[in-house]
A = this chain, B = another copy of it.
Amino acid sequence: MSFVFSTPVRFADVDHAGIVYYPRFFHLFHLAFEELWRTRIGPRAYSELIDRDRIGFPSVRAECEFKLPLRFGDTAEIEVSITRLGAKSITFRYRVYRSEPRALCAEGTVVCAVVDLARFVAIAVPDRVVAMLDDLVEKPSSI
């Protein structure tokens, strides 16, 4: 199973070459990550995790292949799944599709550590986070 977040490409998302500035694809990844929390737990779920529980998910590794440019006027659909739900880290896979005509524009993964923000050390993924993310873990048959 996967989670999908759609957003129009914005007027200022492009660069001087007229296509979405490549670092913004990682921003699109993060928007989908934020929406996952909002949709599944609530609008303040991720901010409270950080502010109250002092737990964060800094990226330790990110990579992306860019296959097709996105342009202003396009709508981006960002699909989120999980390739590895580890003890102290989670690997998210993101695929960005242009919706019309439909095409895969970018595909990447982001490895997030789970950290105690006060000490900036890795901690175990909290149970409620595992519960929220569990259905997004890719099954062998789905590969």
Q: Is A31 an interface residue (CB 8 A)?
A: yes
Q: CA A42 – CA B75 in complex, angstroms?
A: 11
Copies of this chain in the oligomer:
4
Q: Is A24 an interface residue (CB 8 A)?
A: yes
Q: Is A8 an interface residue (CB 8 A)?
A: yes
Are the CB atoms of B34 and A11 closer together than 8 Å? yes
Are the CB atoms of B60 and A66 closer together than 8 Å? yes
- The 8 A CB mask of A34-71 against B (1 = contact, 0 = none) is 11001000011011101000001011111111110101
Are the CB atoms of A24 and B23 closer together than 8 Å? yes
Size bin of chain A's contact surface: 35 or more
CB distance from A93 to the nearest CB of B (A): 14
Can you list 26 A-B contacts (CB < 8 A)? A8-B35, A8-B38, A8-B43, A11-B15, A11-B30, A11-B34, A12-B14, A12-B15, A12-B23, A14-B15, A14-B16, A16-B18, A16-B50, A16-B72, A17-B58, A22-B30, A22-B58, A22-B59, A23-B27, A43-B100, A47-B71, A58-B69, A59-B66, A61-B65, A62-B66, A63-B64
Binding site for B on A (CB under 8 A): 8, 10-12, 14-19, 21-24, 26-27, 29-31, 34-35, 38, 43-44, 46-48, 50, 56, 58-67, 69, 71-73, 75, 100, 110, 117, 120
